[in-house]
Every structure is written in C-alpha cells, then in structure tokens.
C-alpha cells in the first residue's frame, strides 16, 4: 500500500526527508548533484535541495504501514522555455523493483499536462522499459562529455579583431550577459528561459566565482559572448570522487558567430579550470547538436553519460 501526497512547498521535515532520499540515490547512482551539507540557506526549507527540485509541485510517495518516504517526484508546473512541464522522479535505492517507480510515474502523468517531459538521468534500461510501458517516446538526449586536463595543451586562440576578454563584474554585467544569452539560446528548453533574477540567485550560490566567468567585449564595449565555468565539489560516486570543472555555459551573440569567438571563449575557460588544478572537466551538450559535439571532440572530450527526456 502506498500513500501519495502532493504539496506546493516542502516544510522543514518533508524537505529533510526528500534530501535524505536524494542523498541515498546519489550514493547509489552518482546523481542527483546534492551536497552532503545543506549549508546556510535563506527562504524556504526546500532551498537546500538542488535547483531542479525547487518550486511547485512535489509528490511524496510513502509506504502505507511505516510512513517512510520510498519515492519522490518533482513536477515543474511553470515549465521549460517552451512552456512544457518537466518532471524528475527518484525511488529510494532500498525500495526499488517494488513497483514504486511505475506508481509514481502514473500519478505524475495523471496530474501533469499532456506535453510533460520526464527526465531519465543516465539512460538506464529500466527507465526505458518504464517509458515504453506508459507509451512515452524518447524526445531529447543530453550528452555529458568529459576530458582529462592532464597533458592538454590548450593554447591561446586568436580573438576576432577588436574583441577583448575580461571577467564578470557582479552588480554591473547581469543585463548585458542575459541579453546575449537570450539571443544565443532562444532555441534552448532551459537556458532560453534564464533571466536576471536567476543569474542573481546563482551569484548567491557557494560555487559562484566571477573569476571563472569570462565576457567578450567588442571595440564599442558591448558584451557579445561569454563563458561561465563552474567547479563541482567532490562526489564520491561520480568522476572518480574528485572535484570537477564544468564548461557551464558558452554563449555567443548570433551576429558575432563564425569568427572563432566561441572557440576562444571555450579555451579561456578550459585553461582557467586546468590552472586551478582540476584534473577533469565536463560539459553538457544536446545530442542532436552535431557541430558543437564535433568541436568538443576535437578538444579531447568524449561522451561519459547520457540523460534522456521522454515525452508523452
């Protein structure tokens, strides 16, 4: 017997239960990226959860006799940049293969709009079987690519004439970066919806480092591109348990593309991460973005994981 409860916001006790479930999943699967220490968080109790689990709505699936949380789902009712709702499902490792995943997915599909997308991180065969059972189709692949920094000679790359690189200045560069981002990623389901408020929220995160956030300016002082890097703390169950750098976002204004600026920005970030002593760098790229995948392969990156979105 299972008990389902939908809530729009997690209180302290429920947020702790969800965090513990996510940590257990991370210890088995390496995902999601949830810190051991919630740290000092402001706002609601759920602010201690990874960003993809923030905001309404939350589905708590408990074991009827014991009341223990055995599975959890988050449904982003606001949706991606195209308005499609997005769901994340996690079953506690100790309670898998007992039908909880199917029960939770069925409940999510009953509550969500018909255009909902459901993530399956790691492209697990069990997720594929579950998707087939519910008539879901493979709609999107997000590749995780990685490269070792050892022995990599990421030399300087020539900038277009009149362009210079500098680092991001909090409190001054938010709108300029967002303007470029909106033009560069008007096609992207997540990044296309990124705005000044989201950027300012990211600046309050412990991982944010403006020294690893590179902006490209033209001769007029207009920002025409950026490379935002990120450093992840050690995850004992992923990437050999070492800190890892990330090519978080590289964006170039469409009017400035084709002159090598994207490559120059990418190399600037890679050198920064290597010089920080990070032994591995990862990035996320759409599986159908063949030109970008080819560029990253030339820089030494290879696919290490695949995340899949299924659509109803």
Confidence of residue 124 (pLDDT cuts 50, 70, 90): confident
Instruction: Report whether 55 belongs to an annotated binding site.
Output: no
Q: Which residue has the higher pLDDT, 147 or 34?
A: 147
Say if residue 64 carries a ligand binding annotation: no
Q: What is the pLDDT of residues 60-75, one digit of tens each?
A: 999 988 889 999 999 9
Instruction: Name the domain boundary from 100, 135, 170.
Output: 135
- Please count the structural domains in the chain: 2
Tell me: do 112 and 192 sit in the same domain: no
Model confidence at 76: pLDDT above 80? yes
Distance CA 253, CA 299 (A): 22
> Does the annotation list 250 as a binding residue?
yes
174 is in an annotated binding site: no
Please indicate if the annotation marks 162 as binding a ligand: no
244 is in an annotated binding site: no
* Same domain assignment for residues 180 and 219: yes
First and final CA of the chain: distance in angstroms?
27
Say yes or no: 89 and 172 in one domain. Answer: no
Of residues 299, 311, 50, the one with CA closest to residue 153: 299
- The response to whether 246 counts as a known ligand-binding position is yes
What is the average pLDDT across 117-138? 94
Task: Please indicate if the annotation marks 204 as binding a ligand.
Answer: no
Residues 74 and 180 in one domain: no
How far is the C-alpha of 312 from the C-alpha of 307, rounded, in Å?
Answer: 17
258 is in an annotated binding site: yes
Q: With respect to residue 140, please indicate whether it lies within any of the assigned structural domains.
A: no
Does residue 34 have a known ligand-binding role? Answer: no
Q: Are residues 122 and 100 in the same domain?
A: yes
Angle at 110 between CA 26 and CA 28, to 5 degrees: 10
- From 108, 135, 162, give the residue that closes a domain: 135
- 82: in domain: yes
What's the CA gap between 210 and 176, in Å, rounded? 15
180 is in an annotated binding site: no
Give the domain extent around 280.
145-311
Q: Check whether residue 13 and residue 72 sit in a common domain.
A: yes
Say which CATH number the domain at 102 has: 3.40.630.30
For residue 138, what pLDDT is reported?
Answer: 96
Q: Is 284 annotated as a binding residue?
A: yes
Q: Can you give the pLDDT at residue 39?
A: 54
Looking at residue 38, its pLDDT comes to: 59
Within this chain, do residues 111 and 247 fall inside the same structural domain, yes or no? no
244-277, pLDDT tens digit by residue? 999 999 999 999 988 899 999 999 999 999 999 9
Residues 110 and 155 in one domain: no
Residue 207 domain-assigned (yes or no): yes
Are 153 and 300 within one domain? yes
85, 110, 135 - which closes a domain: 135
Return d(Cα 223, Cα 152) in angstroms, integer.
29
**Domain shared by 34 and 183, yes or no:** no
Is 263 one of the annotated binding-site residues?
Answer: yes
Both 122 and 221 in a single domain?
Answer: no
Task: Report whether 142 belongs to an annotated binding site.
Answer: no
DSSP secondary structure, 106-164, as one string: HHHHHHS-TT-EEEETT--HHHHHHHHHTT-EEEEEEEEEEEE-TT------PPPTT-E
Same domain, 123 and 230: no
> Rounded to 5 degrees, what are φ and ψ at 205?
-75, 150
- Is 67 labelled a binding residue? no
Residue 96, marked binder: no
């Amino acid at each position: 017997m299972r008990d389902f409860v939908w809530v729009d916001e997690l209180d302290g006790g429920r947020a702790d239960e969800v965090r513990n479930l996510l940590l257990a999943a991370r210890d088995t699967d390496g995902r999601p990226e949830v810190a051991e220490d919630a740290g000092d968080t402001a706002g609601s109790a759920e602010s201690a959860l990874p960003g993809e689990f923030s905001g309404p709505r939350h589905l708590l699936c408990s074991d009827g006799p014991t009341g223990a949380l055995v599975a959890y789902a988050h449904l982003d009712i606001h949706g991606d940049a195209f308005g499609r709702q997005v769901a994340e499902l996690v079953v506690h490792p100790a309670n898998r293969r007992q039908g909880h995943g199917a029960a939770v997915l069925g409940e999510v599909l009953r509550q969500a709009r018909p255009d909902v997308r459901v993530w399956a991180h790691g492209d697990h065969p069990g997720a594929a079987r579950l998707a087939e059972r519910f008539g879901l189709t493979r709609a999107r692949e997000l590749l995780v690519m990685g490269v070792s920094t050892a022995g990599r000679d990421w030399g300087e790359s020539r900038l277009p004439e009149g362009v210079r690189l500098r680092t991001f200045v909090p409190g001054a560069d938010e709108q300029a970066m967002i303007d470029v981002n909106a033009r560069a990623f008007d096609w992207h389901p997540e990044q296309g919806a990124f705005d000044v408020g989201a950027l300012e929220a990211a600046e309050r995160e412990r991982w944010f480092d403006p020294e690893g956030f590179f902006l490209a300016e033209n001769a007029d002082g207009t920002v025409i591109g950026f490379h935002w890097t990120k450093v992840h703390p050690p995850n004992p169950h992923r990437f050999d348990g070492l800190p890892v750098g990330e090519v978080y976002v590289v964006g170039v204004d469409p009017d400035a593309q084709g002159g090598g600026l994207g490559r120059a920005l990418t190399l600037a970030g890679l050198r920064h991460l290597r010089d920080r002593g990070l032994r591995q760098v990862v990035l996320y790229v759409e599986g159908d973005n063949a030109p970008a995948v080819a560029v990253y392969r030339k820089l030494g990156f290879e696919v290490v994981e695949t995340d899949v979105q299924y659509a109803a």
